[in-house]
């Protein structure tokens, strides 16, 4: 099990942010590049891979399964094993904090005759796996400890998976992806039906690697089908900048007066830009420049300038396209005028923490009016945020980064109790923010307590 040494940090009011930066590679695409590279025939070369703990744990997992993934100069090379070619690992696969890497890998293991134990850190071990295990078990995947739904789990795959037609009960790109990946190894066609669009990186990248994947609309739903038995071919991949990481820089530039920044080469896939759509509706000056295609994905440079924001209603249907960005949206909604209502947030309750409760608690601790109503979060903004609070992150990297963004424009510093887990997704967070002009100070508790003593 993992043990972090807590690293508290506080964000102070910053001067205008400026400059051009590039954020690390997209986490979703990095995971998939490694996994599909392992399943393909030949070598896959990946440039721009996100070298964060979550992705490194996926690289270790595919290596343990017999498909070595290693850094070679500026690239990562994965030596693929082709259809059914992965082998039984010698030890448990440890995914740390990565729900994405683990759930996608369940789809991989499902199609191979092997028994594998999966483990993770304390946070990941609390997250229920029922939604992904259910459909995979219908295909022939076995859970050795029948009825157990949290890590550690011992799982048994098979070379004789059955294809299924599965309707997602709630939108989830991870569950969809696990089923489609398993479907590569099933006889015939496997179909996932979704009522709301979720991230489509798996479908795009499977096609890029040579799989037969189709998507069609029927009765208002999308039917995504993969044909089993095909062979993936190793490819060269350039990973675009992660829009979920860019979100913190974008938000900071909007709320710090006088800011004008450009973030180069960001993924702007339509299933990932719900936050940017929302921020524009709030009055945010965000431009997509130099839009282009690469490796089946759309990329652009983002120019962001400080803006006066107004509260908006964010519909539930937008949740799948911005599920990771609600904490930072909520954290800066206090700087908007009026109510920002975010609906359809049930998924946030089963993330690295109960993100819904943790976000609301963090806002209240810093003088922002916020309340949870069922699966909705309502933040009442006044155009400014008092700050001065210390936020409990609950080992959640996005909670930490969200409030370290809000603190750059609050009257008093905003502290978080721990930043050690930021390395799981965005180890360059502080460095890039400071490059643009952000101001941080440690230890956070000392900063907060001293500010409160001031008259």
Question: Would you call 324 a catalytic residue per the annotation?
Answer: yes
Contact 403, 252 (CB under 8 A): no
What is the spatial distance between Cα 195 and Cα 235, in angstroms, rounded to a whole number?
31
Q: Which two tokens stand for residue 69?
A: 């993934």
Strand-pair partners of 221: 218
What is the spatial distance between Cα 84 and Cα 305, in angstroms, rounded to a whole number?
50
Q: Which letter does DSSP use for residue 241 in this model?
A: B
Q: Which two tokens stand for residue 148?
A: 């157990």
Q: Which residue out of 200, 324, 361, 417 is catalytically annotated?
A: 324
What is the spatial distance between Cα 426 and Cα 281, in angstroms, rounded to a whole number?
27
What is the spatial distance between Cα 396 and Cα 38, in angstroms, rounded to a whole number?
29
What is the spatial distance between Cα 59 and Cα 33, in angstroms, rounded to a whole number?
10
| Cβ neighbours, 10 Å, residue 1 | 9
What is the spatial distance between Cα 310 and Cα 89, in angstroms, rounded to a whole number?
53
Whole-Å CA distances, 249 to 150, 197, 211, 265, 329: 34, 26, 36, 14, 12
What is the spatial distance between Cα 391 and Cα 368, in angstroms, rounded to a whole number?
13
What is the spatial distance between Cα 402 and Cα 399, in angstroms, rounded to a whole number?
5
Peptide bond just before 152 cis, omega within 30 deg: yes
What is the spatial distance between Cα 242 and Cα 30, in angstroms, rounded to a whole number?
10
Q: Which two tokens stand for residue 360?
A: 């609301």
Q: Which two tokens stand for residue 130?
A: 């029922």
φ and ψ of 182, to 5 deg: -60, -40
**Max CA distance (Å), the chain:** 72
Contact 12, 451 (CB under 8 A): no
Residues tagged active-site: 324
């Amino acid at each position: 099990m993992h043990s972090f040494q807590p690293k508290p940090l506080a964000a102070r009011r910053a001067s205008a942010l400026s400059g051009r930066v590039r954020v690390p590679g997209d986490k979703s695409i990095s995971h998939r590049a490694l996994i599909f590279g392992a399943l393909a025939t030949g070598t896959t070369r990946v440039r721009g891979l996100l070298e964060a703990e979550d992705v490194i744990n996926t690289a270790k997992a595919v290596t343990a399964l017999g498909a070595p993934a290693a850094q070679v100069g500026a690239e990562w090379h994965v030596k693929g094993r082709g259809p059914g070619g992965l082998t039984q690992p010698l030890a448990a696969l440890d995914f740390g904090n990565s729900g994405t890497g683990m759930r996608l890998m369940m789809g991989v293991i499902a199609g191979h005759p092997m028994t594998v134990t999966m483990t993770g850190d304390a946070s990941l071990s609390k997250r229920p796996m029922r939604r992904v295990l259910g459909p995979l078990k219908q295909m022939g995947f076995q859970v050795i400890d029948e009825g157990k739904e949290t890590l550690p789990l011992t799982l048994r795959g098979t070379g004789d998976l059955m294809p299924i037609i599965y309707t997602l009960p709630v939108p989830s790109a991870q569950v969809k992806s696990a089923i489609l990946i398993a479907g590569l190894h099933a006889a015939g066609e496997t179909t996932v039906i979704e009522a709301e669009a979720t991230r489509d990186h798996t479908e795009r990248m499977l096609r890029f690697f040579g799989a037969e994947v189709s998507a069609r609309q029927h009765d208002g739903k999308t039917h995504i089908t993969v044909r089993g038995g095909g062979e993936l071919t190793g490819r060269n991949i350039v990973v675009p900048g992660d829009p979920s990481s860019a979100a913190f820089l974008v938000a900071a530039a909007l709320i710090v007066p006088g800011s004008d920044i450009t973030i180069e080469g960001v993924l702007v896939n339509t299933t990932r830009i719900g936050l940017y759509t929302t921020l524009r509706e709030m009055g945010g000056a965000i431009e997509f420049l130099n839009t282009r295609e690469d490796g089946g994905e759309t990329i652009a440079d983002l120019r962001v300038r400080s803006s006066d924001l107004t509260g908006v209603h964010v519909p539930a249907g937008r949740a799948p396209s911005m599920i990771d960005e609600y904490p930072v949206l909520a954290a800066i909604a206090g700087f908007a005028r009026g109510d920002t209502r975010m609906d359809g947030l049930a998924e946030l309750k089963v993330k690295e923490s109960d993100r819904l409760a943790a976000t609301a608690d963090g806002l209240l601790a810093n003088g922002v009016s916020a309340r949870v109503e069922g699966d909705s979060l309502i933040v009442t903004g006044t155009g400014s945020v008092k700050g001065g609070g210390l936020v409990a992150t609950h080992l959640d990297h996005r909670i930490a980064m969200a409030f370290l963004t809000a603190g750059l424009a609050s009257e008093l510093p905003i502290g978080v109790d721990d930043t050690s887990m930021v390395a799981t997704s965005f180890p360059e967070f502080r460095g890039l923010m400071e490059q643009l002009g952000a101001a941080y100070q440690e230890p956070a508790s000392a900063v907060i307590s001293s500010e409160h003593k001031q008259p």
